[in-house]
């Protein structure tokens, strides 16, 4: 893997920190406005896990996972995400735990309208709130299960309250201090209600990095139904097939991509690996040499040479 | 000391048991992940947004005033990693929340920022 991604993620934290330190700004209409036709919605069947003081992270995550049909218990999740020393859980640990339960955690875009749309689609939304002030934060994870449009209220599973009703304004202020962070747990193959291509693709790529190839297959399939023929989604599906050892299917998909655009060196690199896995070492080395002759990027060059060395080793063992 | 074959068999056994545990699947070593293509995509998008900025006439005049060739700047931009490009964009954007950035913070500043970040201003220091 190339290293740029980690840096990218880090740089995305900066705006979130800015939000946290920016004092008592007001809530912009883009965050608080709901569609004109929005009706009251509440997912009453959402399970409830009253939590001990510091375990709101595991409880909130278990709530959205079980609501999405995952067979998981609060104890399982506590073991995965709760850090006694820190008396809390980190956002990325919640994301990682959701993936290990076979769900696709999709960060929502930080608007009330998106929460409403997800609720309408039957999915409760896990949110990070800061119940303190910016200077003395008191972080809290809760799950939005309803929006009452008549009384302007938000309904949450929160702490030991099965049904905490909060005025929308007050909720939005605590959510703003939490960086408007929230997620839904998608079943692989489900698309979020308000889907953003880049955000969805990044979520699925993270699923792939976590080694959940079967879930990634379904998620890329859904992406292709939304964006037919999308290059990144096709590449992702091929990579998932490669990880699942469906080498012929992976090979076909890489070839389709290369027929369309022969400069996709990542596809050529992976095609070579798919060929090598099928024992076609000479064809594999041929693809790598084409890629090496076309490449002008030093980082990619190293990857390609590593691949070449791997294939040569495998070939030597097979001979 | 394992023989090569024995070690291979052990590795296969381990990978088979990992697969059977039903947890993470192990892709062959050397696979370039989908995240790479996503990075590439955002890199191309960042580049084109910054290049649109550089192609503006007023920006061009300012570059000229600094004695910097636009082609040099574009070349430097192409040399940046996607993370650096995103950082550059973020720096420009963080100066303004919406609106026309050139109108808000001024051409000179944007040009200086770009020059600084792509490293052209080192040329000034060395003169």
Nearest CA in chain B to A266: B32
The answer on pLDDT for B101 being more than 60 is: no
pLDDT at position A90, please?
82
Domain boundaries, position B17: 1-31
Q: How many other CB atoms are found less than 10 A from the CB of residue A31?
A: 17
The answer on pLDDT for B117 being more than 80 is: no
pLDDT at position A191, please?
97
Segment 3-62 of chain B within 8 Å of chain A by CB:
4, 8, 23-42
Q: With CB atoms and an 8 Å threshold, state whether B38 touches A1.
A: no
B42 shares a domain with B24: no
Does the beta carbon of B98 lie under 8 angstroms from any beta carbon of chain A?
no
Question: Could you tell me the sign of the dihedral formed by the alpha carbons of A204, A257, A305, A198, in that order?
Answer: negative
Res. A42 pLDDT band, cuts 50 70 90: very high
Angle between helices B34-54 and B70-79 (to 10 degrees): 170
Give the DSSP per-residue string, A169-200: HHHHHHHHHTTT-EEEEEPTTPPPSS--HHHH
B40 shares a domain with B91: yes
Task: Name the average pLDDT for chain A.
Answer: 89
Residue intervals in chain A for CATH 1.25.40.10: 245-318
Chain B residue numbers touching A11 (CB-CB < 8 A): 83, 86-87, 90
B116 shares a domain with B73: yes
B44 shares a domain with B4: no
Does the beta carbon of B79 lie under 8 angstroms from any beta carbon of chain A?
no
Q: What is the mean pLDDT of residues A286-303?
A: 90
Gyration radius of chain B over CA positions = 24
Q: With CB atoms and an 8 Å threshold, state whether A201 touches B83.
A: no
Chain B residue numbers touching A14 (CB-CB < 8 A): 90, 94
B100 shares a domain with B41: yes
Res. A307 pLDDT band, cuts 50 70 90: very high
Q: With CB atoms and an 8 Å threshold, state whether A2 touches B24.
A: no
Q: 1.20.1630.10, 3.20.20.70, 3.40.50.300, 3.90.70.10: which CATH number matches A4-186?
A: 3.90.70.10
Distance from CA of A137 to the nearest CA of B (A): 24
Q: Which of A2, A231, A275 has the most B C-beta neighbours within 10 Å, making it the best mutation to test the interface with B?
A: A2
Q: How far apart (Å, rounded) are the C-alpha atoms in residues A261 and A196?
A: 25
Q: What is the mean pLDDT of residues B50-54?
A: 78
B60 shares a domain with B22: no
Residue A292 near residue A304 (C-beta atoms within 8 A): yes
Res. B24 pLDDT band, cuts 50 70 90: low
Look at domain A245-318 and name its CATH class: mainly alpha
Q: How far apart (Å, rounded) are the C-alpha atoms in residues A117 and A177?
A: 22
Q: Tell me which of A59-73, A182-196, A296-310, B96-110 is least confident.
A: B96-110
The residues near A254 (Cβ < 8 Å, ≥ 6 apart) are A235, A238, A267, A268, A270, A271, A274
The residues near A294 (Cβ < 8 Å, ≥ 6 apart) are A263, A265
Q: With CB atoms and an 8 Å threshold, state whether B34 touches A5.
A: no
Q: What is the mean pLDDT of residues B111-117?
A: 69
Q: Which of A212, A231, A307 sits opposite B24 (nearest CB)?
A: A212
Q: With CB atoms and an 8 Å threshold, state whether A2 touches B36.
A: yes
pLDDT digits (tens, 9 = 90+) for A108-137: 999 999 999 999 999 999 999 999 887 888
Q: With CB atoms and an 8 Å threshold, state whether B25 touches A270.
A: no
Residue intervals in chain A for CATH 3.90.70.10: 4-186
Q: With CB atoms and an 8 Å threshold, state whether B30 touches A307.
A: yes
B6 shares a domain with B51: no
Query: Domain tally for chain B?
Result: 2
pLDDT at position B12, please?
47
The answer on pLDDT for A19 being more than 50 is: no
Res. A318 pLDDT band, cuts 50 70 90: confident
Element (H, E) at A140: strand A139-148
pLDDT at position B121, please?
55
pLDDT digits (tens, 9 = 90+) for A208-258: 999 999 999 999 999 999 999 999 999 999 999 999 999 999 999 999 999
B113 shares a domain with B101: yes
């Amino acid at each position: 893997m190339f290293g740029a991604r980690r840096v990218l993620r880090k740089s995305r934290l900066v705006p979130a920190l800015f939000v946290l330190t920016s004092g008592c700004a007001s809530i912009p209409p883009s965050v608080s406005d709901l569609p004109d036709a929005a009706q009251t919605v509440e997912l009453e069947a959402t399970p409830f896990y009253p939590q001990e003081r510091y375990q709101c992270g595991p409880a909130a995550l278990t709530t959205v996972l079980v609501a999405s049909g995952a067979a998981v218990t609060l104890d399982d999740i506590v073991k995965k995400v709760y850090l006694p020393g820190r008396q809390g859980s980190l956002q990325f640990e919640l994301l990682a735990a959701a993936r290990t339960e076979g769900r696709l955690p999709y960060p929502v875009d930080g608007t009330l309208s998106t929460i409403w749309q997800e609720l309408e689609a039957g999915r409760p939304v896990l949110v990070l709130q800061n119940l303190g002030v910016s200077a003395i934060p008191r972080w809290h994870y809760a799950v939005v299960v309803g929006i009452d449009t008549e009384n302007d209220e938000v309904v949450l599973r929160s702490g030991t309250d099965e049904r905490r009703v909060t005025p929308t304004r007050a909720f939005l202020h605590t959510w703003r201090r939490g960086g408007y962070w929230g997620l839904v747990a998608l079943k692989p193959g489900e698309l979020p209600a308000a889907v953003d291509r880049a955000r969805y693709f990044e979520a699925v790529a993270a699923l792939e990095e976590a080694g959940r190839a079967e879930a990634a297959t379904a998620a890329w399939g859904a992406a292709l139904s939304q964006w037919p023929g999308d290059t990144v989604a096709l590449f992702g599906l091929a990579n998932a097939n490669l990880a699942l050892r469906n080498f012929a299917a992976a090979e076909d998909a890489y070839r389709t991509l290369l027929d369309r655009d022969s400069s996709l060196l990542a596809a050529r690199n992976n095609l070579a690996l798919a060929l090598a896995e099928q024992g076609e070492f000479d064809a594999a080395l041929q693809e790598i040499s084409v890629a090496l002759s076309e490449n002008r990027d030093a980082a990619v060059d190293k990857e390609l040479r590593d691949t070449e060395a791997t294939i040569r080793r495998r070939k030597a063992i097979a001979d | 000391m394992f023989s090569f074959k024995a070690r291979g068999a052990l590795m296969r056994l381990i990978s088979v048991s990992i697969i059977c545990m039903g947890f993470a699947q192990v892709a062959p070593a050397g696979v370039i992940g989908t995240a790479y293509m996503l990075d590439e995509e955002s890199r191309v998008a960042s580049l084109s947004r910054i290049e649109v900025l550089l192609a503006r006439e007023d920006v061009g005049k300012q570059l000229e005033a600094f004695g910097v060739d636009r082609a040099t700047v574009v070349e430097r931009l192409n040399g940046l990693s996607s993370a650096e490009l995103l950082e550059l964009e973020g720096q420009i954007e963080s100066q303004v929340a919406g609106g026309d950035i050139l109108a808000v913070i001024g051409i000179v500043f944007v040009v200086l920022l770009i020059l600084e970040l792509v490293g052209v201003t080192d040329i000034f220091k060395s003169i």
